[in-house]
Structure 1
Amino acid sequence: MSGGDQPMGLPDLQWRKSSFSSGDGQGGNCVEVAIAQPVVAVRDSKAPAGSLVFTEAAWRGLVSALHTHES
């Protein structure tokens, strides 16, 4: 992927690591998210060339469903 492993068609993104990502120093689970309105991009920091892109509404729905499942 060109542009420093950015999703195609999106500008340079500012990725931030999830607060729930493992910080075990063993290359644990590292999910990164970048907001690029009107979409949200999500990637695995160990495989930055691949990412998923959601609409903001779909992202909110996913996060809401995950929070509901946690409870």
Structure 2
Amino acid sequence: MTEDRLNTLMDSEAYWTALAMKEQGSRFYRALGEALDAADIPNRRRIYQTWPDALWDFYLRGLRLEAGEVSPSVGGSSG
């Protein structure tokens, strides 16, 4: 994992990445999402560094989930 990606993950809210893992991942990634949700800072870093490509993918999925959660309430039209 590049240092930029690791910094981005460490600076971001782990909630959305963990949620994407729990909702969209295999049984293994659902459990890892639970672990990420409960992890302190050193263990979050360890998780991110151990599965760099998968965690980056779930981070991007989490961004899409977050956007989906936020956008309907902002400027939505009611029928």
The TM-score, its normalising length taken from structure 2, stands at: 0.27
Report the structure, 1 or 2, having the larger strand content. 1
Q: 1 or 2 for the larger relative contact order (CA 8 Å, sep ≥6)?
A: 2
Find the structure with the greater CA-based Rg: 2
Report the structure, 1 or 2, having the larger helix content. 2
The TM-score, its normalising length taken from structure 1, stands at: 0.29
